[in-house]
Amino acid sequence: MNATITGWGNCTPPAVLTNDDLASVIETTDEWITSRSGIKERRISHVANSDMATLAGKRAIAAAGLEPTDIDYIIMATCTADRQIPSSACYVQAKIGAVNAAAADINAGCTGFIYGLSMAHGLLATGQAERILLIGSEKISSYLDLEERSTAVLFGDGAGAVVVEKTDEDEGIRAMTLGSDGTAAGTLTATGAGTEFIGSDARLAIVMDGAEIFRNAVIKMGETVLHVADEAGWPLDDIDLVVPHQANVRIIDAVRRRIKVDEDKVFINIEKYGNTSAATIPIAITEAVEQGRIQPGANLVFTAFGAGTTWGATAFKWGPRVEPIETIGDELPPLETTALEMIESKQEAIHGWAK
Ligand SMILES: CC(C)(COP(=O)(O)OP(=O)(O)OC[C@H]1O[C@@H](n2cnc3c(N)ncnc32)[C@H](O)[C@@H]1OP(=O)(O)O)[C@@H](O)C(=O)NCCC(=O)NCCS
């Protein structure tokens, strides 16, 4: 049995927050952000995380030629759930009408999609599910504190989804590796959210040791790519496209140099979206298919590193189809505000801050 991707879809919310927008409210510059991270702009969601996830999920189900009632398991990788209780996957289950599906969230930080793919593989292999909707979706803008400028400029909102199904064909997951190091949890964490903070006046913010995260991300993403390529029996020249987690273009570049693959074999879209955590890889997969960067039978490697800390990679052989079977006309509700207004009013409401 193989586990393969049969549908793919994105929801990248329309409100764009540029580096210049950020520079108009905090002490930063387009030059600093671009040269340190490769990010030019990011999206800010005007809807709930589960609404983005729902639209990405519907698009993926249509691309697979399925109905929501065909889905028997929804896994939503997120660290920015609408609420702690219930899971956002259950909101998605209701919003898409997946009445035959089990539903649960997982949180493995930015590695969430790879962890979800591993779980989907296990569920299919043990016969516990047949058609899984795996979503990576984040509304990280809700956690950002503009006064933490080293993180406020790096993240953005968005969702990507895939349908994972069983197949007897020679395609799908070829190798998988996962790891974690909870002793390094403090190097990337959100303060102010979670039971630990109930009743405390801790600020809501993402805080991190940027240099340490950078160093470990390069090491672990590089190691895991080499590991799964080896386990899949692929010489590095046989990899058609690496789809890495999009945290920093300099991290991606350093990984690329370590694993010695050409620039044109690495997918990068961080300039448009920033770091959307668990959503970066499914968003990138969908864009890579739409742009013709993933061809039938392509040998792909997905790799990520994130909060936990966690890391992982998958060697994946794409199937014969790069066109969606169906598409849908659904869109998010219209925007009634700008990205800058949204983050300013959130900052003011949470932190009593006005520029
Ligand atoms: C955060 C990161 C971009 C910083 O880049 P860097 O090249 O290490 O930056 P440096 O540490 O050299 O520069 C820090 C300086 O820039 C300043 N700075 C921080 N944020 C800034 C901003 N938004 N605008 C302008 N200056 C900023 C700091 O105050 C510091 O100034 P100082 O040297 O006067 O103290 C980088 O460490 C990084 O990307 N780390 C990984 C982050 C990540 O990927 N996290 C998610 C993983 S899933």
Lining ligand 1 with CB less than 6 A are: 28, 32, 36-37, 110, 149-150, 153, 188, 208, 210-211, 213-214, 217, 247-248, 251, 275, 305-306
Q: How far apart are CA 233 and CA 256, in angstroms?
A: 19
Q: Is the pTM of this model over 0.95?
A: yes
Question: Ligand 1, from 111, 214, 303: best to mutate by most atoms within 8 Å of Cβ?
Answer: 214
The structural domains of the chain, ordered by start, are 2-171 (3.40.47.10), 173-317 (3.40.47.10)
Annotated active-site residue in 11, 110, 216, 248: 110
Cα of 147 from ligand 1 centre, angstroms: 14
Per-residue pLDDT of the chain (355 residues; tens, 9 = 90+): 899 999 999 999 999 999 999 999 999 999 999 999 999 999 999 999 999 999 999 999 999 999 999 999 999 999 999 999 999 999 999 999 999 999 999 999 999 999 999 999 999 999 999 999 999 999 999 998 998 899 999 999 999 999 999 999 999 999 999 999 999 999 999 999 999 999 998 989 999 999 999 999 999 999 999 999 999 999 999 999 999 999 999 999 999 999 999 999 999 999 999 999 999 999 999 999 999 999 999 999 999 999 999 999 999 999 999 999 999 999 999 999 999 999 999 988 887 776 5
Q: Which residue bears the tokens 């590796």?
A: 177
Looking at the CA of residue 217, tell me the nearest atom of ligand 1. Answer: 47
